Amino acid sequence: MLDDVRILAWGARHAIRLGATLLERAGAQVTFGEARPRDISAYDVIVVSSDMSPANERSAIAELKAAGTHIVCDITATGPQGARACMRGTDAQIQAISGLMDTTGFAHGEPVRIGVPFTEISAALYASAAIAAAVRVKRSRGIVQNIDVTLFGCAASALTTFLPTAFAQGTVGRVGNRHPACAPWNAYATRDGWILICTSTEEQWRKIKEVACVPQLGDPRFATLRERVVNVDELDALIETWTATLTTAECSLLCERIGLAAGPIVSVAGLSGEPNFRMRHADAAMQIDTQGIDSDTYRRVPIFNTSRLTDDTCATPHASPESAAHVPHAGPLAGIKVVEIGQYTTAPLVGKHLAALGAEVVKVEPPDGEVARSWTPGQAGTSYFFALNNTDKQTIALDLKQEADRAHLSAMLADADVLVENLRPGALAKLGFDRDTLGKINPRLIYCSISGFGIASAYPGRPAFDTVIQAMSGLMDLTRSAGEPVKLGVSGADILGGQAALLAIVACLADPARHDGTFVEISMQDVAAWCALFASGNREGQGIAVACIDGHVWLESDEHVDAASLAAHAQQARCSGETRASAVAALAKAGISAVPVARVHELIEDGDFLADVLSVARDACGAFWPVIKVPYRLSRTPARVRAVPGAPTRALAGRFAALAV
């Protein structure tokens, strides 16, 4: 992967430290230094955070960028341009100004800081993938370039479930642990804890009614999904009369037996006793049991695993020429061919970024198209959500239960470099595409499987939604509103799982010595638990959200100021009677760091968001779509977001069609 790549991690941000761990996992030799070493020539890549550096170091970083002798990756809060240029923002402050914080929490409560440094983690993942892409370019084309990654851009990129409402000029609100379009879907109290239960179909609703044996659930108010969403308060209260009679384990077992996505809300300390975590990470579980969680416990949990695609050592690898790689200004992955079989967020996010980096990506959809296409809001029959997650792809509709369509997929895979999917574990094998078969079709294929609990799992048959993974990984335990666990407003487990897959795939593609096929396994629970363990062992400073007349402001402390003191300062500044802007100014005079908590729909009028994050793409009919730029900038081979796919075709001209842009 990144073997023989020498990296200097030189900076104060969490993203630098986390990125170093990720790059080591990908095979790089990483040195962590607080100060610039004397011999810079010993390194290929230098990772910095210039906004956190003193003036003399910022000058040295600028000189390194200008010299063009090293790949320099600069991770900052907001980047060097715009109204917030060079803001030394903390993770929580970026959560606030990006709208991320306002999506987390209950409708009746305050905005909630995500309990892990989400923007720092996201920046570390994206930066590591961008570094791998830059290494590939240097190895194949001799081009050395700089990379800029912003926490603000990473936060905004995570808002794909909320931005569609803003695009349609709607107001985005917090939903707690509920789903805005499905019910029942919530965290429910049990006799000894909490359980997260998610239903999305009428069949699942019928099953939960049968096992709950609560007569009132047969009321006409709950007869349809729409009526259940409208009457969700009454529905949730009735569901909890059932869950409260059971232990969490009993309720989880019942739900698994009837095929519902459900799981307990596990504490971070309780991860060592969570069956799937303990099975997959016995070493980490033992340390938690015997020594507790320290600042390095997270390093014992790998966020991706790679192995040979097959055990067949006699396979004859075929060449996969990348003729487009030498086109001037071509993306880092020009010439790479990708097949994506995915839906919703995880695999589509991977395919979107591979396409932005220059790969040809063909998305395989079911005969009627991906379900998310029809979500509202959108335009011309396609949802904004689908458009945001599937830019720059060719799409094809295949019924993989039909022999002819499986043959078509097989022909595509024979020419592909990468296959990425987020089907239920074993689903692709049942269709005739197990690892051995894939290895025979294409001995050099990189096959990436993303699932909730991994291939080797204590829950081989359990369905997994993002919210369930958040519950079972410690993320919800760390994210609380008035003491009650609450999920991240964004699809955090899905997004982080997709980012881990992106890094692993690009790192594989950066390896010039790769001959055999590679199997990449991503467990979303692994990735989310890695984040939770890091946050638990590396605590952040305290902060509070305070109400103003037009929203909230986020107050943050250093180690000498506790939450009670912050609240007293907010009262003295009379924040409740001030606008956010006035409150921030008043608190600044008192020496208290505060930023406004932005609402998602307000981003559409935010100059920095419009300049640095939002872009416009076109579909095949020439219509314009709002889309999101990638949050990493490669200076000489940039990633580009250009086109929104039309309806899936039934056949492609050849195995891979040229991207229509």
Residue with tokens 């909730």: 452
Strands 484-485 and 305-308: unpaired
Other CB atoms within a 10 A radius of the CB of residue 401 amount to: 11
Which residues, other chains included, contact 51 with Cβ-Cβ below 8 Å and sequence gap of 6+? 76, 77, 78, 86, 87, 88, 89
Q: Quote the CA–CA distance of 473 and 490 in Å, as a whole number.
A: 16
Q: Are 512 and 132 spatial neighbours (Cβ–Cβ below 8 Å)? A: no
Q: How far is CA 488 from the centre of its chain?
A: 11
The tokens of 206 are what? 């019928």
Query: Do 37 and 16 contact (CB within 8 A), yes or no?
Result: no
Residue 17 and residue 42 in contact, taking contact as beta carbons nearer than 8 Å = no
Work out the number of other CB atoms within 10 angstroms of the CB of residue 648.
Answer: 21
Strand residues in 508-630 grouped as ranges (E): 518-523, 543-548, 551-556, 593-597, 614-618, 624-628
Q: Closest by alpha carbon to 393, among 340, 343, 460, 446?
A: 340
Cα–Cα distance, 347 to 498 (Å, whole number) = 6
Whole-angstrom distance, CA of residue 550 vs CA of residue 249: 43
Helices 346-356 and 492-509 pack at an angle, to 10 degrees, of 40
Within 515-579, where are the H helices? 524-537, 563-572
Helix residue ranges, H only, 88-157: 91-97, 118-141, 151-157
CA distance 10 to 537: 21
Q: What is the DSSP letter of 482?
A: T
Tell me how far apart the 2 most distant CA atoms of the chain are, in Å. 75
Say which residues have a Cβ less than 8 Å from residue 279's Cβ, sequence separation at least 6: 456, 457, 458
**Separation between Cα atoms, residue 341 and residue 348, nearest integer Å:** 8
Beta-sheet pairing, 185-189 with 484-485: unpaired
Number of H helices, E strands in the chain: 24, 25
Contact at 8 Å (CB) between 495 and 522?
no
Tokens of 217: 């659930």
Q: Which residues pair with 8 in a beta bridge?
A: 31, 46
Taking the alpha carbons at both ends of the chain, their separation in whole angstroms is 31
Q: Out of 494, 606, 608, 612, which one is annotated catalytic?
A: 494
User: Is the peptide bond between 302 and the residue preceding it cis, with omega within 30 degrees of 0?
Assistant: no
What does the block give as tokens for 135? 């290494």
494 is annotated as an active-site residue: yes
Alpha carbons within 13 angstroms on the beta-carbon side of residue 220 total: 0
Contact 120, 153 (CB under 8 A): no
Say whether 350 sits in a helix, a strand or coil.
helix
- Residue found by looking up tokens 């079709």 in the block: 441
Active-site amino acid positions: 494
